[in-house]
Amino acid sequence: MADSGTTSGPELLVVLSHRAGTPLRGQLESALRGAVRDGRLASGQRLPASRVLAADLGVSRRLVVDVYDQLTAEGYLTARAGSGTWVSDLAVAADSAPDADDRTELPSPRWDLRPGVPSLAHFPRQQWRRAWLSALSGACDADLGYPQAAGHARLREAIAAYLNRVRGVAATPSTTLICAGFTQGLDLLCRTLRAGGARTVALEDPGLPHRAPIIRRAGLTPLPVPVDADGLVVEALPERGVDAVLTTPAHQFPTGAVLAPHRREALLAWAGRAGALVLEDDYDGEFRFDRRAIGALQGLAPNAVVHLGSTSKTLAPALRLGWLVGPPPLVDRLVEGKFLSDHGAATLDQLALTEMIGSGAYDRHIRQTRARYRAQREALEAAVLRHQVPLRLTGVPAGVQTLAALADGHDPEDLVRRAATAGIALDAVTRYQLAPGRPARSLVIGYGNITPHGIDGAMAALARVMDRGPTARSAAPHAESRARRRGERRPRAGRVRDSVRVEGAV
Ligand SMILES: Cc1ncc(COP(=O)(O)O)c(C=O)c1O
């Protein structure tokens, strides 16, 4: 059990968010009952304080108190005066939950630390609903016909102004195209570039796994280019034969590096010499925690850079709303591609986003979630230290994921497999690597869709998994330290704490 005494947030969150539409009270009740029955909440385990769970789940405290009372009355939980609510012995005996060791299949992850999603439980449902209804009642008949392939004029205007203001992008409505996320933007770009004679697209290695298949499917050759602490290694780009390079300058995915000023300059100079385009994937540019975000590269060279972004991190990936901003002749060809691909994005969703931006609700939501992700990142840093997990977080504090270098001899893929058996889902960086021969001993940890309490529980569990690992000898100092804290050995000051460093702390 986590030291905080709170371990149940994440799985409850998942259940609540997946079953929207049924009353929250019923959802929470059955989630808790189910967790007690199948042993995820073990006999004698303390539940989070009602205030804490209410904050985690974004529901009222009253609702949590009522649910605890109900399940106490049913015998699943026991209330102990002054010390909170616990899973009762009776419940487990009655339901005879299987012992974890008896299970032959992997449990579904209790702690999901895979990168890629924002906090889905905090999607602004009310604001989106309000914006969508207002879009529906405000839409004229013509809005219900086929959409403009480039995107609704009002959304293009709103996005262009937003990108100007928030990301320093040189955008106008006519250089802005609305598409189904970054993914469709990249697909349209690759097909359009190929149709214009392009052959090769360079891309950062490591990076998002599905970029190379998109590039290949368009008939282009992906060329992996390494990344270091200053972002894309521009010097590794060939002087000839590359038509475009795909990069994440504000926050390299997944290493967390920021493209250094000298590299930004060198990249634009290279693009000029090579006659190549820079494709700027600005997937989480709004979320920097230690300083104002670095402005978009596109603002420096609007004719050489195509800027891509989406609502997948700011709102939710399910919306499939994104945009790209590029030089006018190229955007015209992309609009043609968009038309041929799907005739344009769903108009009512576009108008709802326009409403959210226009009313200020979009900005407010981003401000709130930025504070949330910052707290989650800090919780991860604190949990790594508290549980002496031999990991070193690298990259700037930004976004919803971080690279975590393994500070001892653990093999990342083996560790990911063993972590999965303990209910922790995370990725090895090898999943994101393209070129063999550049193995990095790191994990990629997503902290966007898990509560601070869940993060703490996950790190405690990961520390236990690493203690038991095949490389337990090199992890021994950490194991020893944990044993000391449990009072099993006399402490020897300083030794372990010195070996765990967190870079880029907020
Ligand atoms: C590097 C990177 N680019 C782009 C995206 C967003 O893609 P889309 O807008 O298609 O959802 C993500 C989302 O996880 C990402 O990690």
335 has a pLDDT exceeding 70:
yes
Region 216-244: mean pLDDT is 97
Q: What is the pLDDT of residue 70?
A: 79
Q: What is the DSSP letter of 80?
A: E
pLDDT-based confidence at 437, cuts 50/70/90? low
CB atoms within 10 A of CB 311: 20
Omega cis (within 30) before 206: yes
List of residues 6+ apart from 166 with CB closer than 8 A: 285, 286
151 CA to middle of ligand 1, Å? Answer: 20
Adjacent-strand bridge partners of 79: 85
94 has a pLDDT exceeding 60:
no
231 CA to middle of ligand 1, Å? Answer: 18
Query: Got the DSSP string for 223-279?
Result: EEEEEETTEE-GGGS-SSS--EEEE-TTS-TTT-----HHHHHHHHHHHHHHT-EEE
Coil, strand, or helix at residue 482?
helix
Q: What is the helix (H) or strand (E) element at residue 492, kind and residue range?
A: none
Q: Which amino acid is at 188?
A: L
105 CA to middle of ligand 1, Å? Answer: 31
For the record, the structure tokens of 301 come out as 């060279």
183 CA to middle of ligand 1, Å? Answer: 7
- List the Cα angle 100/384/502 in 5-degree steps: 155
Omega cis (within 30) before 254: yes
pLDDT-based confidence at 90, cuts 50/70/90? low
Region 37-60: mean pLDDT is 82
Q: Which atom of ligand 1 is nearest to the CA of 312?
A: 11
Cα Rg of the chain, angstroms? 25
pLDDT-based confidence at 88, cuts 50/70/90? confident
The pLDDT tens digits for 116-153 are 999 999 999 999 999 999 999 999 999 999 999 999 99
91 has a pLDDT exceeding 60:
no
The pLDDT tens digits for 240-254 are 999 999 999 999 999
Measured CA to CA in angstroms, residue 402 lies from 224, 396, 397 at distances of 21, 8, 8
Residue nearest to atom 3 of ligand 1 (CA): 283
List of residues 6+ apart from 142 with CB closer than 8 A: none
Least-confidence region, from 47-56, 191-200, 339-348: 47-56
Backbone angles phi, psi at 38, to 5 degrees: -90, 5
486 has a pLDDT exceeding 70:
no
Question: Quick one: which of 381, 390, 404 has its CA closest to 496?
Answer: 390
Burial per residue of 399-436, b for 16 or more beta-carbon CB atoms within 10 angstroms, e otherwise: bbbbbbbbbbebbbbebbebbeebbbbbbbbbebbbee
Least-confidence region, from 103-107, 427-431, 445-449: 103-107
Q: In whole angstroms, what is the distance from residue 419 CA to residue 416 CA?
A: 5
Which is more confidently placed, 309 or 65? 309
pLDDT-based confidence at 435, cuts 50/70/90? confident
Q: In whole angstroms, what is the distance from residue 441 CA to residue 430 CA?
A: 8
Which is more confidently placed, 124 or 77? 124
203 CA to middle of ligand 1, Å? Answer: 14
Q: What is the 3-state secondary structure (H, E, C) of 327-375?
A: CHHHHHHHHHHHHHHHCCCCHHHHHHHHHHHHHCHHHHHHHHHHHHHHH
Contact 391, 443 (CB under 8 A): yes
Question: For 487, left (φ over 0), alpha (ψ -120 to 50), or beta?
Answer: left
pLDDT-based confidence at 105, cuts 50/70/90? low
Q: What is the pLDDT of residue 10?
A: 44
Burial per residue of 352-384, b for 16 or more beta-carbon CB atoms within 10 angstroms, e otherwise: bbbbbbbeebbbebbeebbebbbbbbbbbbbbb
Q: What is the pLDDT of residue 220?
A: 98
Contact 416, 426 (CB under 8 A): yes
Residue nearest to atom 4 of ligand 1 (CA): 283
Which is more confidently placed, 102 or 80? 80
Q: Which amino acid is at 326?
A: G
The pLDDT tens digits for 175-219 are 999 999 999 999 999 999 999 999 999 999 999 999 999 999 999
Give burial (CB, 10 Å; 0-12/13-18/19+) of 385: middle
List of residues 6+ apart from 299 with CB closer than 8 A: 167, 168, 169, 170
502 has a pLDDT exceeding 50:
no
Q: Which atom of ligand 1 is nearest to the CA of 180?
A: 10
Least-confidence region, from 23-37, 232-246, 304-318, 322-336: 23-37
232 has a pLDDT exceeding 60:
yes
Q: Packing angle between helix 153-167 and helix 347-359, nearest 10 degrees?
A: 40
Mutate to test the pocket of ligand 1, among 114, 248, 281, 319 (most ligand atoms within 8 A of CB): 281
- In whole numbers, what is the pLDDT of the chain averaged over residues? 86
Q: What is the pLDDT of residue 271?
A: 98
Q: What is the pLDDT of residue 472?
A: 42
Q: What is the pTM of this model?
A: 0.77
311 CA to middle of ligand 1, Å? Answer: 9
Residue labelled with tokens 């529980």? 457
Q: What is the pLDDT of residue 46?
A: 84
For the record, the structure tokens of 240 come out as 């000839």
Q: Which atom of ligand 1 is nearest to the CA of 183?
A: 10
Q: What is the pLDDT of residue 498?
A: 22
